[in-house]
Structure 1
Amino acid sequence: MGFPGVWMTESESMVYRVVPKCACSSIGQIMFYSDHGRYFDGDIHDATEGLHKWAYERSQQPIENAVRNGQALSFTCVRNPYGRILSSFFDKIAGIQRNGNRYRGKLVPQLIQTYGIEVGSPEDGFDFDQINSFRRFLLFARDTIRWRRPMEPDIHWSAISGHVSTFITNGGHYDQIFFTETFNDGMRKVLAAAETPVQLDVEDVPRFNESEGHGPKRAHKISDYFDDLSRHLVWEMYHNDFKLFRYDFDDPDNKMPVGDIDLDEVHAKLGR
């Protein structure tokens, strides 16, 4: 199966398992800069050169070799499941994508028809009931994850632990896993441990949020979106993420982790 979702610097200083909606644009740009002394001009997801990606056949052997010999620093980044699923909704369902279209073509019209979701439009200032529509989206996300209907779960709302696990089960080992919520501190430790051709200070890195400005702004605090049923659905989908990555299930408004990640536990539980 190899290492799907893995990016690596051309200098082989860093190997990164991408987890969607967990600062992957910023991390990819930092990796690019650490090799070339400049940021990629555009969305790093569109870069076809300057960064090894498992999706490109020419990159697969270098990535596999680097992972197998363990010389490159291997890492990933995780995020609070409450904030991540909300971000997925506002970006991928309610927002307009950078190509000017809705995400995945017919997906949003299908959700409007089947689940009764509203998303508004740029013309009406994205005027819709955010809380009601998000809760309906959660039902859809749960259906895709539990029953794989009406479609396979999308990478943007499938569990973080599922993304993280493929690297381990296929023979990789993480040196570091850090939190989106303490991004600068975590990324600084990665850069300190990796031998990069170009040095950079994380404090100087701009934020590369490719979805920013293309959809509605969240109008309420996080806990307002999650009633008892919603929290039940979130636990059903993401209980491993809460437990392994030490996030607070009981307080949706507490985005910060409540403990440190135990890398040995992550490898033991996700490597089965």
Structure 2
Amino acid sequence: MGFPGTWMTTSESMVYRVVPKCACSTIGQIMYYSDHGEFFDGDIHDAQSGLHKWGIEESQAAITRNVQAHGSYAFTCVRNPYSRILSSFFDKICGIQRNGKRYRGNLVPKLAYTYGIEVGGDDGKGEFDQIASFRRFLLFARDTIRWRRPMDPDIHWSGMSGHVSTFIVNGGRYDNIFWTEKFNAGMQSVLNAVETPHAVDLATIPRFNESEGHGPKRAHPIEDYFDDLSMHLVYEIYKRDFDLFKYDAQDPSNKLPVGEIDLDEVHAKLGT
């Protein structure tokens, strides 16, 4: 299986396991800048050089050697499951992607027909009942994760624990897992632990939110999207994420973690 979703700087200063919808664009650009003294011109997910990625065949041997020997500082970043699934809905389901098309082709028409989801018209900018449509999307996400119907779960809404675990199961070990909600402190703790060819000043780094503007603006506070049933579904789907990464399953309005991540617990529970 190897190390899917793993990126490494060309200088091998650090190794990062990408978790979708968890500041991965900004982290990738910081890694790129730390090696080259400039940002990648475009979406970092499109970069085919200047950064080792598991998806680039020529990078796989270097990543495997490094990770299995724990040759570099290894980290990942996680996010509150409530805000992550909501972000996935607005970006991937309601939004027009950077290629000018809907995400995954016929996925949205299928959801509109099967689950009664509205997405704001052809351009994603029209008025629609965001709360009702999101709750229907949540049923779809649950169906994909629990029963792999009507399709396999997508990486953007499958559980973070699953992404994080592949790195451990195949022989890697994390030195740091930090929260998107405390990004500057977390990313700074990574930078403090490594030596990079170019210094990174987090205070001046822009946020590379590549999904921003794809879809309609969120019209309500996060907690308005989750009634009792929705909260039950989210906890059913993401129980491991809430427990391991210390988020509050009882209060969707509280995006901040309620405890410290225990790396030994993460490795023990996700390493089998």
Q: TM-score, normalising length from structure 1?
A: 0.98
Q: List alignment gaps of at least 5 residues for structure 2.
A: none
Would you say 1:138 and 2:138 are equivalent positions?
yes
What is the CA-CA distance between 1:124 and the residue it aligns to? Answer: 7.6
1:229-254, Cα deviation, whole Å (9 max, x unpaired): 11111011000000000000111000
CA contact (8 A) 1:122 1:215 kept: no
Instruction: Tell me the distance in 2 between the aligned counterparts of 1:220 and 1:243.
Output: 26
Once residues 97 and 123 of structure 1 are traced to their aligned partners in structure 2, the CA distance between those partners, rounded to angstroms, is 10
Q: Given the superposition, is the C-alpha separation of residues 123 and 242 from structure 1 closer, same or farther in structure 2, using an over 3 Å criterion?
A: closer
Task: Note if contact 1:93-1:108 (Cα within 8 Å) is conserved in structure 2.
Answer: yes
- 1:2-22 Cα offsets, whole Å, 9 max, x none, are 101100000000100000000
Deviation at 1:71, TM superposition (A): 2.1
Query: What is the one-letter code of the residue matched to 2:248?
Result: D
What is residue 50 of structure 1 aligned with on the other side?
A: 50
Equivalent residue for 2:64? 64
Q: Which residue of 1 aligns with 2:6?
A: 6
- Partners of 1:214 and 1:160 lie apart in 2 by 23
Corresponding position of 2:188: 188
Deviation at 1:122, TM superposition (A): 6.2
2:123 and 2:190 map into 1 onto residues whose CA distance is 43
In the TM superposition, residue 123 of structure 1 has moved relative to its aligned partner by 5.5
RMSD across aligned positions (CA): 0.9
Decide whether the 8 Å contact of 2:248 with 2:255 is kept in 1: yes
**3-state DSSP class of the match of 2:126?**
coil
SS of the residue corresponding to residue 256 of structure 1 reads: coil
1:164 and 1:39 map into 2 onto residues whose CA distance is: 26
Which range moved further: 226-235 or 24-33?
226-235
Does the 8 A contact of 1:19 with 1:164 survive in 2? Answer: yes
SS at the partner of 1:208? coil
**Contact residue 126 and residue 215 of structure 1 kept, 8 A:** no
Counterpart for residue 242 of structure 2: 242
Match of 2:80 in 1: 80
How big is each residue's C-alpha offset from its partner over 1:150-170, in whole Å with a ceiling of 9 and x where there is no partner?
A: 000000000000000000000
- One-letter code aligned to 1:176: N
SS at match of 1:16: strand
Change (3 A) 1:124 1:51: closer
Distance 1:124 1:105, change over 3 A: closer
Aligned-residue identity in percent: 73
Name the TM-score, length of structure 2 as normaliser: 0.98
Partner of 2:263: 263
One-letter amino acid matched to 2:216: P
Aligned residue in 2 for 1:112? 112
